[in-house]
Amino acid sequence: MRILVIHGPNLQLLGKREPGVYGKKTLKQIDDEIRKHAKSLGVTVTTFQSNHEGDIVDKIGSSMGEFDAIIINPGAYTHTSVAIRDAISGAGLPAVEVHLSNVHAREEFRRHSYVAPVCKGSICGFGSMSYVLAIDALVGRA
């Protein structure tokens, strides 16, 4: 199984700022954690971060044939991007929405996701563990 992991806007700053909200790990540390976990399950993982809605749409658009599943933390685009929703819907791959923080416990506008309805499921609130659980969910590992 080949999984594409997408990190949305501002996630390049992880570990550097607002650790109270997003945790202390850097994106690199999270990527290493993800890769290590995937490897232990015999899963290939490609990680990708962009602050550009268009880049994310491009990436998802070209994922068919190259990947078997998508894990996406759409960050702020969760709440505003119909384009990413349509990209996932068009890609036809099983996708899991993840969030580091519990989006339901923050501002009201963060409770609505354009992306979630076209995913298989969603996981939020567990820091980098959210990604790890998403891999398990896709692999079906108990």
Would residue 114 show up in a list of annotated catalytic residues for this protein?
A: no
Residue 19 as a binder of a second copy (CB under 8 A): the answer is no
- The Cα 62–Cα 78 span in angstroms is 20
Closest to a second copy by CB, 2 vs 86, is: 86
| Cα separations in angstroms, 57 against 36, 72, 137 | 26, 11, 23
Kindly report the number of other CB atoms within 10 A of residue 105's CB atom.
Answer: 10
Nearest to 10 by CA among 102, 83, 73, 60: 73
Question: Minimum distance from CB of 2 to a second copy (Å)?
Answer: 18
Looking at 46, 48, 68, 133, which residue binds a second copy (CB under 8 A)?
133
Residue 77 contacts residue 35 (beta carbons within 8 Å): no
Catalytic residue, chosen from 7, 37, 77, 99, is 99
Q: What is the DSSP letter of 5?
A: E
41 is a site residue for a second copy (CB under 8 A):
no
**Residue 39 within binding range of a second copy, rule CB under 8 A:** no
- Residue 77: active-site member: no
Q: Does 25 bind a second copy (CB under 8 A)?
A: no
What is the distance between the alpha carbons of residues 42 and 22, in angstroms, rounded to a whole number? 28
66 binds a second copy (CB under 8 A): no
- What six digits make up the tokens of 95? 């996708």
Q: Which residue among 7, 22, 37, 114 is the active-site one?
A: 22
- Measured in residues, the chain has a length of 142
Give the footprint of a second copy on this chain (CB under 8 A).
8-10, 12-13, 16-18, 33, 37, 50-55, 57-58, 61, 64, 75-77, 79-83, 85-87, 89-92, 96, 102, 104-105, 109-114, 116-126, 129-130, 132-133, 136-137, 140, 142
- Tell me the catalytic residues: 22, 99
